[in-house]
Every structure is written in C-alpha cells, then in structure tokens.
Amino acid sequence: MPIEFKFTKPFIDAASENFITDIQIITLECLKEFPELHPKTIKFSYTKGFACAMTLKATETTYNIGYNPEKPLYYNVLGHELMHFAQVFSKIPHGEKSCDVYTLARSELFLDNPPCYIDLPAEIENYWDNYAKDVRNLCIDAIEIRKTNRQYIKWVVKEIKKLVKK
C-alpha cells in the first residue's frame, strides 16, 4: 500500500519544493531497510533542531517526524528517526546510543553521515568516509555481543577508538 505523506504548514513554509520531493524519496528508500515497520501515513513537522521522531496517537501506522529543512538530508538522520519507531513498535532496545548502533548496523545506506550520539574520536568524525565501514562492522558485532553483555555500547565505543591509527 502506498504511504501517504503529510506536511505541516510551518514545514511547507520553510522547505523548498525540491526538499519536499527529496525527503519523500529518501524516506521511502530508508523504509526498505525496515521490513518490521508498516506506516500508512508519515507526517513531517518543522523542527529547529536537526531531526526528531514523534509517534502520533501511539499508532503503528501514523508517524510524525520532525526535520529541519534548513539542514541537509541524510539517510543516516532519517534512518535514525525510523529506528526510533522500531524501538517503540519492534524489539530494538531503547535509547539514543542504541538507536545509532542499530541504525549503522542495519544498512550501508546509513553511512552517509556520522552518528550523532555515539562518542567518536575527532579523527573518525573528520574523516568519516575512511572509517564508516569499520564502524558499521563494530556495530554489527556489538548487537551480537549484546546477547550476553549488556555493556555493548561501552564495548563498541572502546573498539571504535581503537580504529584510529596511531
């Protein structure tokens, strides 16, 4: 079933036509990585920050995502917001850092920008493209490790630091 996109007036006022077209295309591409999610309606609201996910009426079919049209569109940012819905409606552990780990692990599509909440050394932040795939592999390992070790976020942050060549 096609997804219906809605936009609040403040969002439409702040966004260019291209931005409104692109955010729909990118969201649909991101959703292909979330077979557990089945939204019918996605509503975009204006936010002053970068992005935020909000559940509307606590339904599994209507999502509200806040996005700032003055910021660039990143798969990583939209993927992160969609992962918040997976946290609510599926079995993804809650929390922002967990959201980043699961988003990076989910697909290479989400490597187009560094994550916001996992602590990254400046070298990795500045040269993200050189490290993105290795960081993703560590996130995949971290999800495995979580089965026996609840400290998987501490583990992944420590392992990410080791990626920086001295």
Q: How far is the CB of 17 from Zn ion (least distance, A)?
A: 27
When the beta carbons of 83 and 135 are compared against Zn ion, the nearer one is 83
Region for 8 from its dihedrals, namely left if φ exceeds 0, alpha if ψ lies in -120 to 50, beta otherwise: beta
Compute the least distance from the CB of residue 125 to Zn ion, in Å: 18
Nearest residue (CB) to Zn ion, 96 versus 112: 96
- Determine how many CB atoms are found less than 10 A away from the CB of residue 80: 27
Residue 158 belongs to what H/E stretch?
A: helix 152-162
Residues making contact with Zn ion (CB under 5 A): 96
The CA distance from 69 to 166, in Å, is: 39
**For residue 152, which of 140, 163, 161 has the smallest C-alpha distance?**
140
The CB-of-116 to Zn ion minimum distance in angstroms stands at 7
Q: How far is the CB of 39 from Zn ion (least distance, A)?
A: 17
Cβ-based nearer residue to Zn ion, 18 or 64: 64
Q: Which residue is nearest to Zn ion (CB)?
A: 96
- Quote the CA–CA distance of 82 and 53 in Å, as a whole number: 7
* Cβ closest to Zn ion, residue 88 vs residue 163: 88
